[in-house]
Amino acid sequence: MGNKFKTVAICCRKKNKQILEIAFQACEVLSNLKLDLIVNDKLSSLKEKVNCKIVKEKKLMTADLMIVIGGDGSILSFARNFGSKGVPILGINLGNLGFLADIPPKNISQSLMEVVNGKYLRDKRFFLEATIDAGTKSHLALNEIVIHSGAVAQLIEFELYVDGIFVYRQKADGLIINSPTGSTAYSLSGGGPIIHPDVKAITLLPMFPHSLSSSPLLINDKSKIEILVVNKNKATISLDSHNSLPLNKGEVVTIEKSKSILSLIHPRDHNFYSACRNKLGWSNSITTE
């Protein structure tokens, strides 16, 4: 249960017929509930059909709730830019395997009416924050931070330290550092563990390590992670598969839990295990002939 919302932003990262239809439906529902509606420029054509205001990206910060239409990629983008600054986010899922956007298009009207009347669940998620060589600029990721070679079938060499303690020196295609939110994303594809969002942990998962004894490592979410780039070739750091930066030999990447917290808004019937069951096929029966 939570507070009601007064100003709602409806946003998307790309525009197509389906997204416009869903955005229009959402605007109709929310307008009938006497809410102030703002939309980003991708949805500017809605101005001719419903009572809403087209605003620039920075003005979206004035919303009490942000509704993002799309898959997890869209959610991640708005989460970094606005969720990290305190705007709660609700996702309408158009993706195939989305774990962040959980309202299907067919349930929009009922779900939105319940949410704006305070009948919802608030789910707190933490971001990971990376700095390079103790630089002044930091970079956020909600799912994962990946150190990799930037090339196919090319190893990089790095040293891993946790809270100042040497863990190992490794040759691998890379290293995935993910939050519990990211445990159902890229890390899952690499064989990493699925972690409930309430677990306060960070996963360290080597990618195709040149070792016979390497395993995923779970550490406390308050730990300080340092990765020293050892190899002569350049490496790359990627954040949520969105922002990529080059790394040179001798540079140190420091990764910690960010002070920024994302508030994800869910319908009341949402639960993590149901999402895993439906999206990962946990209940699919195995038949034999």
Q: How far is CA 40 from the centre of its chain?
A: 20
- Give residue-wise pLDDT tens across range 254-279: 999 999 999 999 999 999 999 899 88
Distance CA 215, CA 206 (A): 7
At residue 131, does pLDDT exceed 80?
Answer: yes
Average predicted confidence (pLDDT) for the chain: 92
For residue 27, give every residue at least 6 positions away whose Cβ sits within 8 Å of its Cβ, in sequence order, or none: 10, 37, 39, 46, 49, 50, 51, 52
- Give residue-wise pLDDT tens across range 147-177: 998 877 789 999 999 999 999 999 999 999 9
At residue 283, does pLDDT exceed 60?
Answer: yes
User: H-helix or E-strand containing 232?
Assistant: none
Taking the model in full, what pTM does it have?
0.92
72 a catalytic residue: yes
Q: Which domains does the chain have, with CATH numbers?
A: 7-120+267-279 (3.40.50.10330), 127-259 (2.60.200.30)
* Among 36, 41, 72, 198, the one annotated catalytic: 72
The residue written with tokens 């509704």 in the block is 67
